[in-house]
A and B are shown apart, each in its own frame.
Chain A
């Protein structure tokens, strides 16, 4: 399947190569497009899941050959996990004991985030404005607080703490050389999914930048599902919680009673 994809992309590529040989076309009129495909559309979390790699293939169409050769095109591929509320809490010492005293909740933040790029974006893309406009990258993603923010002091502090904690837990990752050109306009990105990746619908997004300016983007959904017994247990616990609880008790009664029967001396 990989090979088939690569072949298709190569065919596309040769077509565009022919097009771009048309001389004197002003660079501004060339409209680049981007196509992507993933190695799989579904990732299963089994009981021995230790994380997985996701390979994203992509092709650039309608690129300016000269700019491509001098490396003016940059690609960023991200994998955003399902979005949810995230609360950051800060501890302070109260009567000698460390307790949570301040909290800030961010709305609509991805639970996991993996990013791969052709190069270090901050140095290459001279204008981080385009990154923060798009909300691409761990440092630039939108973290908007909800509820009572107070006077807004410490917002930066809480945002930084959130990013740092997510990176240290492995849920947020970046690979500054994770996108490689395998031919002049065909690229491959490798994204790492951590062992604690949340289940749900993730989004693969690819962004194309030309000389630091955003050109176009494509996205594809990726399902991450818990499989087998794990999935059934999670479903049962959340969809029929009462029955699940009753079953837990039943299991305990059977285990306790069974043991007393098995080990009875007489």
Chain B
């Protein structure tokens, strides 16, 4: 059964889109990630114009992050003050990101830039995750106790000025690195169509030394508002949010996520992470190959910015 996507201006098989949404939703439920970094490349592989894939991906992340954020809000594992500072940086970053996005689009380098960013991020994150999970697996095989390094001592981050007290997180921290982190993630949200949790969470834990229990909830808080803002601005400036595509992805995604959570609770963490790492690497490699292999046609035509 085909369905016409009014903004992407093409007909697609609804079951392929549903399958994509459900599979990514399942993985995101299993690993507790937003899934934007998988949805956008998959849409590009399925010939959705990258302009539409990125904007629609951001919209989809709103839906996939909201239930997690509600849960954390109820449990109280959300630092509203820290989240607001992050969000301030995030909104500014998203605005700058949209400028970059529109400019790249006008000079015809948007598709390349999106692919390059994905190759860099997916291979880095996938590689690190794989390395980490293989080490954990080998430790488990040797029956060693997992020793968590206590991020105790202070780094350069904690010597910065403009400090603020965050009661919920029980830390006293300069707002400069917090805003900078939010800002960079905001740029990624608008240029790549991702929530950015896969970068923000490790950065908050290892760089800012924020207690782990509030990290996920606080990052979700920031992600929801920044992706919502990006969706609206993309719709207003590039007219590139496809509501039909987004809705199919959302519905399949949120249902898939529920089952992913259940499966994830039963399986072993290290093996799961190794699997996700391989998947992330595979998507990155597939994108990298597309950049290097001689294209079947060196020419392309675009009308009003959309390739056809």
List residues of A whose CB falls within 8 A of some B CB.
Answer: 45-50, 84-93, 96-100, 103, 111, 158, 161-162, 164-166, 169, 171, 195-196, 226, 230, 233-234, 237-238, 241-242, 244-249, 251-253, 255-260, 263
Q: Do A165 and B297 touch across chains, with their CB atoms under 8 A apart? A: yes
Q: Do A233 and B244 touch across chains, with their CB atoms under 8 A apart? A: yes
Interface centre among B299, B302, B303 (most CB of A within 10 A): B299
Per-position binary interface string of chain B over residues 275-308, scored 1 when its CB falls under 8 Å from any chain A CB and 0 otherwise: 0000000000000000111110111111110001
B299 partner residues in chain A, CB cutoff 8 A: 88-91, 158, 161-162, 164-165
A71 shortest CB reach to chain B, Å: 37
Q: Which of B228, B291, B303 contacts A85 (CB 8 A)?
A: B303
Determine the residue in chain B with the shortest Cβ distance to A262: B258
4 residue pairs, one from A and one from B, having the closest CB atoms:
A245-B235, A260-B67, A256-B66, A245-B232
Q: Do A252 and B235 touch across chains, with their CB atoms under 8 A apart? A: no
Q: Do A103 and B11 touch across chains, with their CB atoms under 8 A apart? A: no
Q: State which of B132-140, B158-166, B207-215, B246-254 sits at the interface with chain A.
A: B246-254
Determine the residue in chain A with the shortest Cβ distance to B256: A259
Q: Do A100 and B108 touch across chains, with their CB atoms under 8 A apart? A: yes
A53 shortest CB reach to chain B, Å: 18
A9 shortest CB reach to chain B, Å: 36
Q: Do B70 and A248 touch across chains, with their CB atoms under 8 A apart? A: no
Interface centre among B4, B7, B233 (most CB of A within 10 A): B4
Q: How far is the CA of A202 from the CA of B308 in the complex (A)?
A: 18
Q: How far is the CA of A91 from the CA of B66 in the complex (A)?
A: 41
| A100-B109, A245-B233, A245-B236 as given contacts; A256 in contact with B304, CB under 8 Å | no
Q: Do B258 and A263 touch across chains, with their CB atoms under 8 A apart? A: yes
Q: Do B291 and A248 touch across chains, with their CB atoms under 8 A apart? A: no
Q: Which of A86, A97, A237, A253 contacts B63 (CB 8 A)?
A: A253
Q: How far is the CA of A196 from the CA of B239 in the complex (A)?
A: 19
Q: Do B301 and A166 touch across chains, with their CB atoms under 8 A apart? A: yes
Q: Do B298 and A87 touch across chains, with their CB atoms under 8 A apart? A: no
A256 partner residues in chain B, CB cutoff 8 A: 62-67, 250, 254
Known: A245-B234, A245-B236. 14 other contacts (CB 8 A): A85-B303, A91-B295, A100-B109, A161-B301, A230-B6, A233-B7, A233-B243, A234-B7, A247-B243, A251-B243, A251-B250, A259-B255, A260-B66, A260-B67
B140 shortest CB reach to chain A, Å: 30
Q: Do B66 and A257 touch across chains, with their CB atoms under 8 A apart? A: yes
